[in-house]
Structure 1
Amino acid sequence: MTAIPSDPPVRLMAAPFTAFDRDGGLDLDRIADQVAGLRADGVHAAFVCGTTGEGASLAEAERMRVVQRWCIEAGPEFDVVVHVGHASLRVAIELARHAASTGATAVAAVAPYFHRPRTVDELVEACAEVAGAAGSLPFYFYHLPDMTGVRVAMAEFIALGRERIPNFAGVKFTHNDLAELGQCLQVAGDDLEIMAGRDEILLASLAVGADSAVGSTYNFAAPVYLDMADAFASGDLASARHLQQVTRGMIDLVQPFGGLPALKAIASMVGVDCGPCRLPLHDLDDAARAGLRQELERIGFLKTLEQSRTRRGAVNETAAQTV
């Protein structure tokens, strides 16, 4: 494996879990540990109250409390992008106004997902309302067609959004269409940011031209992805492919073991325990957790993560001593 560059070839933003206590209430005291863990793993920002953060399962007031605490704990050197998307455009606007008052770095929003925009023009119109409520904060559109059902051409959306939304900053592209991702990157140019949103195809996204990414598994596996990106940048494709294969194997285990609850279970094994998920999702029982750990060991994920954390931690410590 090659040396770690001082300027990483990809900027990773974690989509953090929302921590709950055993009764399903918010456990905001966990956020300080989440921030510390992400920083230690080389993550530069958090995408708060998104899909992984169960934002759609939180009441409006709860989302505001979570955002406020994240902004306090993150401080000025760790970016907090607040997801404000909602089925109700009015609620999304209120969440955007609140985010702007908390010291957030930026806001993002999925499309309204019950009564949906049908065209690029309608989607831009809806996003402009939310973006306008955020004042001067940058606005990102969260493209998540598999969940929202809104499937419009993103390259066209970016071109029109650039014209009509003054604080438009880019797109969180959570879709498997790499050809469309490439189109988005081309249209965006250097002035807009297109963030790859599928962890399992991050390597392919880098090959298309992405240099930033948002993901669920960066909560606990960022060092492996950063090693993968370093290997790709240095031309060591064999190592890069191997590391993507290991992380993809971990992600492939998630759905059979319960989806998001399985991700939270993995985080509790190797990072910060954020408690259970909210209904209708169910936490893993002891037998399932044991089976998941056994499978993670079998595919080599836990060993690979330990190696990447050790390697990057040792290099970072050496670099700090020479500053």
Structure 2
Amino acid sequence: MSKLHGLIAAPHTPFHEDGQLNLEPIEKQVGRLSSTGLIGAFVCGTTGEGLALTLDERRQVAARWVDAAQGSGLRIIVHVGAAAVADACELARHAQSIGADAVAALAPCYHRPASIEALVSTCQHIAGAAPDLPFYYYHIPSMTQVNLSMAQFIPAAREAIPSFAGLKYTHDDFMQLQECLAIARGELDILHGFDELLLAGMTFGLRAATGSTYNFAAPLYLDLMAAFQRQDLVTAAARQQTSVQLIRLLARFGFPAACKAMMELTGIPCGPVRMPLASLQPEQKKLLHEQVESAGLVNWLSRDV
């Protein structure tokens, strides 16, 4: 897989109202991402509630995304991280068998790797289950509580893992991010994971980003990126401030559930979130939608073209 340049959505996993898996919207999700100019999907990650799915459900979701994305130009990165390394390996083998473009894994987050060596060994086992696919380590210490130095991890992973392709870096330590970019030297992908800090990441030299709000507000971020490319930093900063406004609004309602509620506004309902997350009640959805409208944020939502 060639180096990544552009926006990659972290898509929502659709559920029926009773919480059961609903695969039907995935074709529409693929079409929306492709038509709005995104380059890929990071499937079954944090936004996709991957760790709230059974292994069989994760296989079903991954297979549906890979099948639906055929001919779309989207690159499908399947997140396979799990509490049990054996489960992650099983999911990685499955991802390779169905023709995914890459796999990614976060660190086990109950019994956690406590050293760079332990983390590299864990990733080596997972990547080795899908040796033909690029492997990305998903660094998200706010969720895993694994906050080892990525500047130390990258060279160790490159030496130990032939398929190591880079990081999904969802962390606000920008000093470490700059170190990672310097070490990667453009030979590895560093996928930025904070939508509200996209512009800051681009000033550091990031070329690709993965995020939740790209599912329903891609035009906002694509306009930000275009402004940055033409060196119009005033417009780029204004677009980033709009992103911050949107994300703060969503956070007031509970970010995961509010993001799913936003999908309804774009015409692709993805249902509720799964326990232990709490879904929005109808009156909460109504209030959220009203506030999005009144703030003018609806003008930046993805629509069918």
What range describes the TM-score normalised by the shorter chain of this pair?
A: over 0.9
Greater Cα offset, 207-216 or 271-280? 271-280
- Indicate whether 1:50 and 2:50 are aligned: no
> Any idea what SS the aligned residue of 1:51 has?
coil
- Indicate whether 1:27 and 2:27 are aligned: no
Q: Is the 8 A contact 2:217 2:300 kept in 1?
A: no
User: Which amino acid is 1:201 matched to?
Assistant: L
User: Which amino acid is 2:47 matched to?
Assistant: T
Report the counterpart of residue 94 of structure 1 in structure 2.
90
- Indicate whether 1:166 and 2:162 are aligned: yes
Match of residue 128, structure 1, among 112, 124, 131: 124
Q: Report deviation, 1:271.
A: 4.0
Q: Distance in 2 between matches of 1:44 and 1:271?
A: 21
> Any idea what SS the aligned residue of 1:256 has?
helix
1:48-96 per-residue CA deviation (whole Å, 9 max, x = no partner) reads 0000000010000110011111111000422110000001111001110
Match of residue 296, structure 2, among 275, 295, 300: 300
- Indicate whether 1:222 and 2:222 are aligned: no
Report the counterpart of residue 261 of structure 2 in structure 1.
265
Segments ≥4 residues shifted beyond 6 Å: none
Shift in CA distance, 23/262, structure 1 to aligned 2, threshold 3 Å: same
Q: Report deviation, 1:10.
A: 4.9
User: Which amino acid is 1:232 matched to?
Assistant: F
Q: Distance in 1 between matches of 2:183 and 2:243?
A: 30
Report the counterpart of residue 320 of structure 1 in structure 2.
none
- Indicate whether 1:289 and 2:285 are aligned: yes
* 1:1-323 paired onto structure 2 within 5 Å: 10-76=5-71, 77-305=73-301
Q: Is the 8 A contact 2:219 2:300 kept in 1?
A: no
Query: Aligned pair count?
Result: 301
> Any idea what SS the aligned residue of 2:260 has?
helix
> Any idea what SS the aligned residue of 1:29 has?
coil
Q: Distance in 2 between matches of 1:232 and 1:121?
A: 38
User: Which amino acid is 1:245 matched to?
Assistant: Q
Q: Report deviation, 1:286.
A: 2.0
Q: Distance in 2 between matches of 1:191 and 1:234?
A: 25
Q: Report deviation, 1:304.
A: 3.6
Q: Report deviation, 1:297.
A: 2.4
User: Which amino acid is 2:155 matched to?
Assistant: A
Q: Report deviation, 1:176.
A: 0.9
Q: Distance in 2 between matches of 1:226 and 1:86?
A: 32
Q: Distance in 1 between matches of 2:272 and 2:282?
A: 13
Q: Distance in 2 between matches of 1:280 and 1:42?
A: 33
Q: Is the 8 A contact 1:182 1:208 kept in 2?
A: yes
Q: Report deviation, 1:23.
A: 1.5
Q: Is the 8 A contact 1:124 1:164 kept in 2?
A: yes
User: Which amino acid is 2:288 matched to?
Assistant: L
> Any idea what SS the aligned residue of 1:108 has?
strand
User: Which amino acid is 2:193 matched to?
Assistant: G
Q: Distance in 2 between matches of 1:242 and 1:187?
A: 31
Shift in CA distance, 269/290, structure 1 to aligned 2, threshold 3 Å: same
Q: Is the 8 A contact 1:31 1:69 kept in 2?
A: yes
Q: Distance in 1 between matches of 2:87 and 2:26?
A: 24
Q: Is the 8 A contact 1:254 1:262 kept in 2?
A: yes
Runs of 5+ unmatched residues, structure 2: none
TM-score by length of 1: 0.90
Q: Distance in 2 between matches of 1:173 and 1:53?
A: 17
Q: Say what the alpha-carbon RMSD is for the aligned residues.
A: 1.5
